[in-house]
């Protein structure tokens, strides 16, 4: 049986395969920071993180992994 892969993860996989910039879904970024998906959306707006838009969707976007890694590294200090 095939494993379920949500639409955001499919878009992320395609984007990462065709770009030299690595991205994360909002949920993945939230997990790295220990917050929920909804809290991550607010965090992204408040901290002016770069949002990589997903075509044909006004409310979905991906976040740059390098920005999240930097936040995680500074948080650990």
Structural domains of the chain, ranges and CATH numbers in brackets: 7-76 (1.10.10)
Residue 12 is predicted with a pLDDT of 82
- pLDDT tens, position by position, 1-50: 566 667 777 888 888 888 888 999 999 999 999 999 999 999 999 999 99
d(CA 1, CA 68): 33
Sheet with 23-24, strands from edge to edge, namely: 23-24, 61-64, 51-53
Q: Exposed, middle or buried: residue 42 (CB in 10 Å: 0-12, 13-18, 19+)?
A: exposed
Arithmetic mean of pLDDT, 57-68: 87
HSE (CB half, 13 Å, CA atoms) of 71? 19
Q: What is the pLDDT of residue 76?
A: 60
DSSP designation for 54 = P
């Amino acid at each position: 049986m095939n494993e379920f892969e949500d639409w955001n993860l499919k878009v992320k996989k395609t984007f990462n395969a065709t770009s030299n910039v690595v991205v994360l879904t909002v949920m993945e970024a939230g997990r790295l920071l220990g917050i929920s998906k909804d809290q991550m959306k607010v965090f992204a707006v408040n901290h002016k993180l770069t949002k990589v838009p997903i075509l044909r969707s006004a409310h979905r976007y991906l976040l740059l992994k390098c920005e999240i890694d930097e936040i995680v590294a500074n948080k650990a200090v």
